[in-house]
A and B are shown apart, each in its own frame.
Chain A
Amino acid sequence: MASATDAVSTLMVQKFGVEPAAVRPEIPLYELRMDSLALEEFRILIEEQLEIDLEDAALTSRNTVGELVEVVELVHSRTLR
Chain B
Amino acid sequence: MSRPVNPPFTAAVTGLGLVTAAGAGTDNVWRNVTRGVVAASSVGPREELRDLPCDFMYAIGPDLLDTTRLLGVATQRLMDRFAQLAVLAAREAVADAGLDPSVWDSGRVAVVIGSAHGGLPFYDEQHTALTTKGPRRVSPKLAPLTVVNSAASSVCMDLGVRGPSMAVSTACSSGTVAIGTAHQMLRTGACDIAIAGGAESVCSRLLIASACQMKAVSTRRDDPAAACRPFDADRDGFVVGEGSGLLVMERPEHATARGARIRAGIAGYGATSDSYSAVAPDPDGKGIENALRTALTDAGVTPSDIGHVNAHGTSTVFNDLIEATMLHRLLGADPLVTSTKAMTGHTLGAAGGIETALTVLALEHQLVPPTANLESLDPRVPVEVVAKASRPATFDCAVKTSLGFGGHNAALVLTRG
Contacts and interface: CB of A to CB of B under 8 A. Distances in A.
B72 A17 contact: yes
Given A37-B141, A41-B141, A16 B136 contact: no
Interface string A23-61: 000000000010001001100100110000001000000
Nearest to B72: A17
B140 A37 contact: yes
22 contacts: A15-B73, A15-B77, A16-B73, A16-B74, A16-B77, A17-B72, A17-B73, A17-B75, A17-B76, A17-B77, A18-B74, A33-B74, A37-B141, A41-B139, A41-B141, A44-B136, A44-B137, A44-B138, A44-B139, A44-B140, A47-B136, A55-B136
The 5 closest A-B pairs by CB, nearest first: A17-B73, A17-B74, A40-B140, A17-B72, A33-B74
A14 B72 CA distance: 10
A43 to B, nearest CB: 9
A61 B311 CA distance: 51
Contacts of B73: 14-17
Given A44-B136, A44-B138, 17 more contacts: A15-B73, A15-B77, A16-B74, A17-B72, A17-B74, A17-B75, A17-B76, A33-B74, A37-B141, A40-B140, A41-B140, A41-B141, A44-B139, A44-B140, A47-B136, A48-B137, A55-B136
Give the interface centre of B74, B137, B138, B141 by most chain A CB atoms within 10 Å. B74
A49 to B, nearest CB: 12
A48 B136 CA distance: 10
A15 B75 CA distance: 11
Contacts, number: 30
Interface residues of A, number: 13
Interface residues of B, number: 13
B163 to A, nearest CB: 25
B139 to A, nearest CB: 6
A79 to B, nearest CB: 15
A34 to B, nearest CB: 10
A13 to B, nearest CB: 8
A71 to B, nearest CB: 17
Interface string B135-159: 0111111001000000000000000
A47 B129 CA distance: 14
A11 to B, nearest CB: 11
Nearest to A55: B136
A18 B140 CA distance: 19
A37 B144 CA distance: 10
A76 B221 CA distance: 50
Nearest to B68: A17
A70 B73 CA distance: 25
Contacts of A16: 73-74, 77
Interface string B62-98: 0000000000111111000000000000000000000
Contacts of A48: 137
Contacts of A33: 74
A55 to B, nearest CB: 7
Contacts of B72: 17
Contacts of B136: 44, 47, 55
A78 to B, nearest CB: 18
Contacts of A18: 74
Contacts of B141: 37, 41
Contacts of B139: 41, 44
A16 B77 CA distance: 7
A7 to B, nearest CB: 17
A58 to B, nearest CB: 16
Contacts of A14: 73
B102 to A, nearest CB: 20
A72 B233 CA distance: 64
B130 to A, nearest CB: 12
A42 B304 CA distance: 61
A76 to B, nearest CB: 17
A55 B135 CA distance: 12
A75 to B, nearest CB: 15
Contacts of A55: 136
A37 B137 CA distance: 14
Contacts of B74: 16-18, 33
B215 to A, nearest CB: 39
B88 to A, nearest CB: 17
B412 to A, nearest CB: 38
Nearest to A44: B137
A48 B133 CA distance: 10
Contacts of B75: 17
